[in-house]
Amino acid sequence: MKLLRYFEGDTVRPGLLDAAGVIRSLAGEVADISGPALDAATLARLAALNPDSLPRVEGAPRLAPCVGGVGKFMCIGLNYSDHAEEAGMAIPEHPILFLKATSAIAGPQDDIVIPRGARAVDWEVELGVVIGKAAKYVSEAEALDHVAGYCVVNDVSERDFQIKLSGQWTKGKSCDSFGPIGPWLVTRDEVADPQALDLTLDVNGQRMQAGNTATMIFSVAQIISHLSQMMTLHPGDVIATGTPPGVGMGMKPQPVYLKPGDRVRTEIEGLGMQSQSIRADD
């Protein structure tokens, strides 16, 4: 299934995308696409529904982030060997973890907003993993059983905030709008192998990133198992699993960063596409 959330006026409603690409309302079935709706029993009940029996959502509503009520937004740094190389950093021995503020979460079509004082806003296409069943001390062999599904994430970053303002990377990762998620949450059964997905990102129609999750240093299963040794992963938690090479910071002979008026298109095979305009904060 492709689960989603959309705006009806100022209210966010749950929905799914049917085989014809039509949004169907799930308002009579679940309160939201969030932690309580991501357990195996609820997902199985939704999968058994006949989409044609669900109300059709007319028009082209604005899409909300595909997961609501996110408790933890976790990100894995330097998880592609070729990206670590372009960043001039050593291959990590263990997954590098940083947290992105949940207030950064945005919809897949929402503007990316350059905050005041920012000069180095960068892009990062990433495979997002959404937890469906609480995970604590799980093995790699059982880790994927705790996944509800997968989505597209753009780990937008302000490099000066991230690197030059001291402290943790979180400063450059957590600005408002810096965490577009969606367009949909694709349930685990529709992703045969999360380590075989193409990822791309274009800026103004120019291909900047092209990679495949096969080149991750740490697989999705390894990441979930590792994190679960230190904290409980809860339903609705999101993990962004790292980005392939081609980020603006790594461009030669000098970095290239986003500016007002730019457009970014982010896509992962089978998981959908995001498209955003870049604007300066008011």
Query: Cβ neighbours of residue 192 under 8 Å, at least 6 residues apart?
Result: none
- Whether the predicted pLDDT of 148 surpasses 90: yes
* Amino acid 166: pLDDT: 81
Residue with more model confidence, 172 or 90: 172
- Band the pLDDT of 154: cuts 50, 70, 90: very high
Nearest to 70 by CA among 106, 111, 97: 106
Give the total residue count for the chain. 282
Mean residue pLDDT of the chain comes to 95
Please tell me whether residue 160 adopts helix, strand or coil conformation.
Answer: helix
Per DSSP, 227 falls in state: H
Per DSSP, 95 falls in state: -
Could you report the per-residue pLDDT of 195-249, keeping only the tens digit for each? 999 999 999 999 999 999 999 999 999 999 999 999 999 999 999 999 999 999 9
Residue with more model confidence, 136 or 282: 136
pTM, full prediction: 0.96
Could you report the per-residue pLDDT of 26-81, keeping only the tens digit for each? 999 999 999 999 999 999 999 999 999 999 999 999 999 999 999 999 999 989 98
* Amino acid 45: pLDDT: 97
| Residue 96: strand pairing partners | 77
Owner of token pair 């970053």:
157
Nearest to 38 by CA among 1, 63, 10, 75: 1
Task: Give the chain's domains with CATH numbers.
Answer: 2-53 (no CATH), 73-280 (3.90.850.10)
Owner of token pair 């498209």:
275
Strand (E) or helix (H) holding 121: strand 121-122
The rounded distance, in Å, linking the Cα atoms of 86 and 138 is 33
CA max distance for the chain: 56
* Amino acid 135: pLDDT: 98
